[in-house]
Chain A
């Protein structure tokens, strides 16, 4: 992986690595590429992918409005609130 690609991925992931961390990541990535060769050696062209190991169901509930938690409860863990809203920096000038 090129360093520029890594920096682009950091942006997508909303992270910012130090130069030292980037060096470590690139070494890690090279190792993963090497290990992936073991997977490439297996012919999987006619193998169906396995997303889940067991059957899964979609959890549904009746389409009824329920007030389970109050606004105050939901905002207890919020880093910043104002007048009952989550507070973030101004998005629109």
Chain B
């Protein structure tokens, strides 16, 4: 059981750890996969450069699920992190309890789930405001670099260091747009609770939503329930888009130029197939094959094209909601603890749990988790969401 895949020898008070999804020159980068075991990058991810320039030390590389697409890191080739009772722990969350912060790669909601079950803060900023240059890409259209920390102040300080335009990232927004996420232009005064999504969570999670509702109300925030039927469709749509994008992104791993190579081959086809088969875990293989199926000639229109249209429907629904409300509140996970037995019984649990995380992922909207709840806001409202989550945390 490893929290760190590589650990630096530095004081933790001003140190930021990285999910092992960020390329680093000084440490290996594995993306939690045997495919990249021991891989050394020739350059640092842009966020690593920015952190260093801002005076932070790099605490090390946190154990992460293979390509960061699983529930809480259980598919790492180094094994799941659990406590003595078999409860799944997120390595990033455990490290965030002692370091200043951890940079996480939010592809399928794992850092948000981890923050929710560990009573930490996680900020998934507006898509395009933090560079993805030098990350191991899984699902480009939704993956976002975010910050996990004990407090909103720490998360915001680190976000301030890493946000900004990057010429090397084609999805990077302008500096003036990136700066917007750090300033509260309009405070959260009206919050919508996603009714059916919240109702599907267990009682302890619903209790967190109720507690947050009371704290916000006590602080003069109007809270009301809304019909969220369209938002529930983000789950199936993101499962399609994520698998399709992942399938393409990991096609580069073939055992030739870098990464794992099987010892069992005589032809080039055997080299490719045996290297990938031996190195990738079962969840990743499932997603690769599902991804290539949804991109196939027979299924492209009914799966992939449909999912992209649903993405617009959901984005338009959010725009409609944000015409009246400042934020949507919903859980970040169905329950407050998951066990290794849960994922052993259903390795696809992350595909179910993204009912709670896919709405923000598929639309690129900012989401802030804290006090066991998740707030989603319109693009660039990150700072206002952080303020509201700070109020919730302090009120508990």
Contact = CB atoms under 8 A, between A and B. Distances in A.
B260 A39 contact: no
Nearest to A20: B282
Interface in B262-276: 265-274, 276
Contacts of A9: 289, 292-293, 296
A59 B169 contact: yes
Contact of A49 (B251, B282, B293, B308): B308
The B interface, classified by DSSP as helix, strand, loop or mixed, is helix
A53 B363 CA distance: 6
A32 interface: yes
A12 B271 CA distance: 14
A48 B312 contact: yes
A68 B44 CA distance: 14
Contacts of B312: 47-50
A15 B268 contact: no
Q: Which of A47, A50, A78, A91 has the most CB of B within 10 A?
A: A50
B232 A89 contact: no
Contacts, number: 153
B313 A44 contact: yes
Given A44-B310, A54-B173, A16 B273 contact: yes
Given A16-B273, A28-B348, A89-B265, A53 B167 contact: no
B289 A15 contact: yes
A65 interface: no
Given A32-B239, A44-B306, A50 B169 contact: no
Interface residues of A, number: 48
A66 interface: no
A22 B134 CA distance: 34
Nearest to B272: A14
Nearest to A27: B348
B61 interface: no
Given A9-B289, A9-B292, A42-B233, A54 B171 contact: yes
Nearest to A10: B289
B69 to A, nearest CB: 14
B348 A39 contact: no
Interface in B238-274: 239-240, 247, 251, 254-261, 265-274
A64 B286 CA distance: 42
Contacts of A13: 247, 251, 276, 285, 288-289, 292
Contacts of A6: 289
A47 B300 CA distance: 16
A89 B268 contact: yes
A53 B247 contact: no
Given A54-B364, A78-B257, A89-B266, 11 more contacts: A13-B251, A16-B273, A16-B274, A16-B277, A21-B285, A44-B309, A52-B141, A54-B127, A74-B42, A77-B257, A89-B270
Q: Which 6 pairs, one residue from A and one from B, show the smallest C-beta to C-beta distance?
A: A53-B364, A79-B261, A77-B258, A49-B308, A44-B309, A50-B312
